[in-house]
Structure 1
Amino acid sequence: MAGPDTGSKIQIHSYKHNGQLHRVWENSLVLKGTESLVIVANDKTQVIESDGRTWVTREPAICYFHSKYWFNIIGMLRNDGIYYYCNIGSPFVYEDEALKYIDYDLDVKVYPDMTFDILDEDEYAEHKEQMNYSLVIDHILRQHLEYLLSWIRQRKGPFSPGFVDQWYEMYLTYR
């Protein structure tokens, strides 16, 4: 599987475990695209929900996807600092000019001071039962949640100082 071309625009598709399309982000600019790592940027991007509702993102964001990890990370540049929204989800696949992953409900919100909240544990428990997540999937997701929390505490990857700013600067060269 080849990754998307740097400088190309792609969609991001999030699915649920049962295969239903959950959400689509339009027009994300690929800043780095390999078969194992994709970094995209978007700003004021239209998002389409599964029920057809649409909304537009409020601020520039740098999004990090890796084929090895069961999470993705969105760094949002706001006036008072960088906030992160992290989705526990399957590793991505890239096909038909779209980056695709399964969203497993658990989320982590990280604040500029690097404190964080784990979100949607109730939604995860509900969907785990409804969609019959296997014990293996549950174990993988819990393990990768711990990896993610470790990255946050260690300021690793997208949480390292300057990471989001560096990629945002690159994004600005395309505008």
Structure 2
Amino acid sequence: MQIPKEGDYIAIQSYKHDGSLHRTWRDTMVLKTSDDALIGVNDHTLVTESDGRRWLTREPAIVYFHRHYWFNVIAMIREGGVSYYCNLATPFTLDQEALKYIDYDLDVKVFPDGEKRLLDVDEYEQHRRKWAYPATTDKILKANVRVLVDWINHGKGPFSQAYIDLWYNRYLQLSHKEN
């Protein structure tokens, strides 16, 4: 597939370990692509759940995907500050249809005040048993939780305010060009 360029729109598809489609984001604006990462933005983006429910994202969110790390980051830009939702998931792949990854249920939420919460541990354990996650997958995911928390604690990459400002401002420039 041709790598999307700045300003292009792509779909994002999240799957579960058994191959079932979990969630789709229809139009994510690409802000940057490299060999290893893709940065984009969702702003009032249509999301479709596996059960057919649809909803729109409420605020602009910078999304970060990497080809080597087993997590992706959604930085939601809100009046009270930036909140982060981090999915423990496979590195992304890209094809003609969408950016794709497997979501492994575990999530880390970071609040504007810096508080961190590990979410959905019960759901992860339930699916780990149901779909017999390989021991290597479990080990990789737990190691990536540690990497992710280190990034959060040290303001690395998407957890830096300068990063958020840079990419949000680029989004505003690109979206202004469209009007």
Question: Unaligned 5+ residue runs, structure 1?
Answer: none
Cα separation, 1, equivalents of 2:97 and 2:75: 22
Cα separation, 2, equivalents of 1:47 and 1:35: 27
Cα separation, 1, equivalents of 2:116 and 2:30: 27
1:70 is aligned to 70
> What is the deviation of 1:4?
2.1
Deviations 1:131-173 (A, max 9, x none): 1101000000000011000100111110012211210100011
Matched, 1:40 2:40: yes
Deviations 1:23-81 (A, max 9, x none): 00011000001231100001011100011110111000000000010000000000000
Counterpart secondary structure, 2:158: helix
Matched, 1:58 2:54: no
1:133 is aligned to 133
Q: How many residues align?
A: 175
TM-score calculated relative to the size of structure 1: 0.97
Q: Which is worse superposed, 33-42 or 130-139?
A: 33-42
Matched, 1:118 2:118: yes
Cα separation, 2, equivalents of 1:126 and 1:59: 31
1:12 is aligned to 12
Matched, 1:164 2:159: no
Cα separation, 2, equivalents of 1:42 and 1:97: 17
Instruction: Tell whether the 8 Å contact from 1:4 to 1:97 is kept in structure 2 after alignment.
Output: no
Counterpart secondary structure, 1:132: coil
Seq. identity, %: 51
Instruction: Tell whether the 8 Å contact from 1:23 to 1:47 is kept in structure 2 after alignment.
Output: yes
Counterpart secondary structure, 1:162: helix
Instruction: Tell whether the 8 Å contact from 1:4 to 1:34 is kept in structure 2 after alignment.
Output: no
1:150 is aligned to 150
2:30 is aligned to 30
Report the RMSD for the aligned CA atoms in angstroms: 1.1
Instruction: Tell whether the 8 Å contact from 1:8 to 1:30 is kept in structure 2 after alignment.
Output: yes
Task: Give the partner amino acid of 1:49.
Answer: E
Instruction: Tell whether the 8 Å contact from 1:2 to 1:34 is kept in structure 2 after alignment.
Output: no
Cα separation, 2, equivalents of 1:112 and 1:156: 15
